[in-house]
Amino acid sequence: MLSASRVRERALEMGFDLVGFAPAGPTPGAARFLAWLRAGYHAEMAYMARAPERRLDPRHLMPNVRTIVVVGLSYETLAVPMEVLQDPARGRIARYAWGADYHDVITPVLRAFGDWLARESRAYVDTGPILERAWAARCGLGFIGKNTCLIHPKRGSYLFLGAVLLSEEIEEADHEHSAAAPPLNTAGAPHRSTGEDAPFSRCGRCARCLVACPTNALPTPGVLDASRCISYLTIELKGGIPLALRPQMGNWVFGCDLCQDVCPYVRRFSRPSDSPLAKAFRPPDPERIAPRLLDLLSMDRTAFHARFKGTAIMRTKRRGLLRNACVAAGNWGSDEALPVLRRLLNDEEPLVREHAVWAIARIQQSAYT
């Protein structure tokens, strides 16, 4: 049987900021997940609704699983002047994608951690049918906020999560010994913490995240309508962005941080990680944080791959990123974008051509208002 203190120690040695664990069983919050699916809030993410029972109990993935271990790694990096991020001539990128693709960085380390933990283990970094945030809360790594993110009271919500399914248990005696330590310490809370307080009790009356969302993607606390979420629209959605939502998207071209940026826990406690792993998430230059729209709109396939290889931005492919950049250019409203947008009217991708037409019309319309 594994020693809880040694598990936490080893997680920190391998570069994770947080670790927690809980006995395997039905997934916490499964009923809320099913209600979310029934409401259609997963939009076109059909994989979320495919065989949903796999997400409801980890024993569907690994029949002999005894313990769930969840790790967290902060991707908070350097402070960036808001005048850069909010410059309408630049395309804004979500913080988690400023550096290397987190899958490539975390997955091999998490698999090695799983191999060290048990004879049989399975590791997932946002790639399998595991509700990581729900399990992270159960394992004591924080609580689910009104913006649906996992929030650690001393680190905020800029956290990558990974889950390991183990065929072994973790020593209960050590849990009891750990219970005397302050909850949610640097290495994570003791196992006995459930992370399941009254819904959003740790948020209190704060509703900043709900108010901050320009597309009203958070219709009620703890419910995300993906079809209206800027992160979904710029990454997951493969077709055209709904016309009514384009003006509200501002200069976001990949993901969105607004509902996290305004969170008091993030503003007060979020800080860069000291882990060597976290160095990979620090941007090599400011142009990775908020690249110029004119540069993005001018990229061919070769330039796109050269600039974003090894990053999460590859997920959108060139056509998706240029689609998003066209929307941002339309919202910028500057005549400076018209020449490159007109060249895109002959682009090989119909998706890019359609959004270039919209951007040109929006810029021309703004000139008369």
List the catalytic residues: 126
Give the containing element (helix H, strand E) for 135.
helix 132-138
Q: Are the C-beta atoms of residues 297 and 342 closer than 8 Å to each other?
A: no
Name residue 23's beta-bridge partners. Answer: 67
Reduced to 3 states, what is the DSSP secondary structure of residue 20? strand
- Taking alpha carbons only, the member of 103, 124, 142, 112 closest to residue 55 is 124
CA 328/CA 109 separation, integer angstroms: 37
- Taking alpha carbons only, the member of 173, 151, 331, 138 closest to residue 259 is 151
Q: How many whole angstroms from its chain centre is CA 134?
A: 14
> 197 in the Ramachandran plot: left (φ > 0), alpha (ψ -120 to 50) or beta?
beta
Give the containing element (helix H, strand E) for 319.
helix 317-332
Q: How many whole angstroms from its chain centre is CA 29?
A: 19
Question: What is the C-alpha end-to-end distance of the chain, expressed in Å?
Answer: 70
Q: Are the C-beta atoms of residues 130 and 159 closer than 8 Å to each other?
A: no
φ, ψ dihedrals at 44, nearest 5°: -90, 10
φ, ψ dihedrals at 270, nearest 5°: -65, 135
Q: Please report the DSSP string for 251-282 in residue order.
A: TEEE---HHHHT-HHHHHH-----SGGGGGGS
Q: Are the C-beta atoms of residues 203 and 145 closer than 8 Å to each other?
A: yes
Angle formed by the axes of helices 301-308 and 317-332, nearest 10°: 90
Residue recorded with tokens 């809030």: 41
